[in-house]
Amino acid sequence: MTSELDIFVGNTTLIDEDVYRLWLDGYSVSDAVALRVRSGILEQTGATAAVLQSDTMDHYRTFQMLERLLHAPPKLLHQLIFQIPPSRQALLIERYYAFDEAFVREVLGKKLSKGTKKDLDDISTKTGITLKSCRRQFDNFKRVFKVVEEMRGSLVDNIQQHFLLSDRLARDYAAIVFFANNRFETGKKKLQYLSFGDFAFCAELMIQNWTLGAVGEAPTDPDPQADDMDMDLDKEFLQDLKELKVLVADKDLLDLHKSLVCTALRGKLGVFSEMEANFKNLSRGLVNVAAKLTHNKDVRDLFVDLVEKFVEPCRSDHWPLNDVRLFLNQYSASVHSLDGFRHQALWDRYMGTLRGCLLRLCHD
Partner 1 sequence: MPGKLKVKIVAGRHLPVMDRASDLTDAFVEVKFGNTTFKTDVYLKSLNPQWNSEWFKFEVDDEDLQDEPLQITVLDHDTYSANDAIGKVYIDIDPLLYSEAATVISGWFPIYDTIHGIRGEINVVVKVDLFNDLNRFRQSSCGVKFFCTTSIPKCYRAVIIHGFVEELVVNEDPEYQWIDRIRTPRASNEARQRLISLMSGELQRKIGLKVLEMRGNAVVGYLQCFDLEGESGLVVRAIGTACTLDKLSSPAAFLPACNSPSKEMKEIPFNEDPNPNTHSSGPSTPLKNQTYSFSPSKSYSRQSSSSDTDLSLTPKTGMGSGSAGKEGGPFKALLRQQTQSALEQRGGSPHKFCRRREFPFFTLTAFPPGFLVHVGGVVSARSVKLLDRIHNPDEPETRDAWWAEIRQEIKSHAKALGCHAVVGYSESTSICEEVCILSASGTAAVLNPRFLQDGTVEGCLEQRLEENLPAGCGFCHIPYDELNMPFPAHLTYCYNCRKQKVPDVLFTTIDLPMDAAVIGKGCLIQARLCRLKKKAQAEANATAISNLLPFMEYEVHTQLMNKLKLKGMNALFGLRIQISVGENMLMGLASATGVYLAALPTPGGIQIAGKTPNDGSYEQHISHMQKKINDTIAKNKELYEINPPEISEEIIGSPIPEPRQRSRLLRSQSESSDEVTELDLSHGKKDAFVLEIDDTDAMEDVHSLLTDVPPPSGFYSCNTEIMPGINNWTSEIQMFTSVRVIRLSSLNLTNQALNKNFNDLCENLLKSLYFKLRSMIPCCLCHVNFTVSLPEDELIQVTVTAVAITFDKNQALQTTKTHAEKSLQRASTDNEELLQFPLELCSDSLPSHPFPPAKEHLESASSNSGIPAAQRATSVDYSSFADRCSSWIELIKLKAQTIRRGSIKTTVTVEKASPVGEGNFRNRSSPPCANSTVGVVKMTPLSFIPGAKITKYLGIINMFFIRETTSLREEGGVSGFLHAFIAEVFAMVRAHVAALGGNAVVSYIMKQCVFMENPNKNQAQCLINVSGDAVVFVRESELEVVSTQQPAANCQPSCTGGEVTT
Give me the 178-217 binding string for partner 1, x by CB under 8 A, dash otherwise.
-------------------x--xx--xx--x----x---x
Using CB under 8 A as the binding rule, the residues of this chain from 303 to 322 that contact partner 1 are none
**What is the C-alpha to C-alpha distance for residues 221 and 229, in angstroms, rounded to an integer?**
12
**What is the C-alpha to C-alpha distance for residues 74 and 4, in angstroms, rounded to an integer?**
35
Distance in Å, CB of 215 to partner 1, minimum: 13
Query: Measured between alpha carbons, how far is residue 246 from residues 266, 279, 293 in Å?
Result: 25, 16, 15
Give which of 8, 9, 35, 37 is closest to 22, Cα–Cα.
35
Using CB under 8 A as the binding rule, the residues of this chain from 122 to 151 that contact partner 1 are 147, 150-151
The DSSP secondary-structure symbol of 110 reads: S
Which residue's CB is nearer to partner 1, number 150 or number 252? 150
For residues 52-88, one letter each, b for 16 or more C-beta atoms within 10 angstroms of the residue's C-beta and e for the rest, the string is bbbbbbbbbebbeebeebbebbeebeeeeebebeeeb
Which residue's CB is nearer to partner 1, number 55 or number 301? 55
* Backbone region of residue 188 per phi and psi (left: phi > 0; alpha: psi in -120 to 50; beta: other values): beta
* Backbone region of residue 295 per phi and psi (left: phi > 0; alpha: psi in -120 to 50; beta: other values): beta
Which residue's CB is nearer to partner 1, number 142 or number 292? 142
* Nearest-10 crossing angle of helices 49-70, 29-38: 120
Using CB under 8 A as the binding rule, the residues of this chain from 154 to 173 that contact partner 1 are 154, 156-158, 160-162, 164-168, 171
Give which of 179, 161, 196 is closest to 230, Cα–Cα.
179
219 binds partner 1 (CB under 8 A): no
Which residue's CB is nearer to partner 1, number 13 or number 278? 13
253 binds partner 1 (CB under 8 A): no
3 state SS of 83: strand
Using CB under 8 A as the binding rule, the residues of this chain from 94 to 113 that contact partner 1 are 94
Options 39, 153, 322, 336; binder of partner 1; rule CB under 8 A: 153
The DSSP secondary-structure symbol of 329 reads: H
Which residue's CB is nearer to partner 1, number 36 or number 309? 36
Using CB under 8 A as the binding rule, the residues of this chain from 221 to 240 that contact partner 1 are 229
**What is the C-alpha to C-alpha distance for residues 110 and 89, in angstroms, rounded to an integer?**
31
Using CB under 8 A as the binding rule, the residues of this chain from 17 to 76 that contact partner 1 are 45-48, 50-52, 54-55, 57-58, 61-62, 64-65, 72, 74-75
Half-sphere exposure of 246 (CA within 13 A, CB side): 15
Half-sphere exposure of 27 (CA within 13 A, CB side): 18
Distance in Å, CB of 227 to partner 1, minimum: 14
Which residue's CB is nearer to partner 1, number 195 or number 288? 195
Q: Are 263 and 276 in contact (CB under 8 A)?
A: no
Determine the interface stretch with partner 1 among 4-12, 127-135, 268-276, 338-346 (rule: CB under 8 A).
Answer: 4-12
Distance in Å, CB of 278 to partner 1, minimum: 28
Which residue's CB is nearer to partner 1, number 172 or number 240? 172
Give 83's strand partners: 12
Give me the 5-24 binding string for partner 1, x by CB under 8 A, dash otherwise.
xxxxxxxxxx----------
Q: Hey, how many other C-beta atoms are within 10 angstroms of the C-beta on 253?
A: 17
Options 23, 27, 89, 233; binder of partner 1; rule CB under 8 A: 89
82 binds partner 1 (CB under 8 A): yes
What lies within 8 Å, CB to CB, of 118 at 6+ separation is none
Which residue's CB is nearer to partner 1, number 98 or number 253? 98
Binding residues with partner 1: total (CB under 8 A):
72
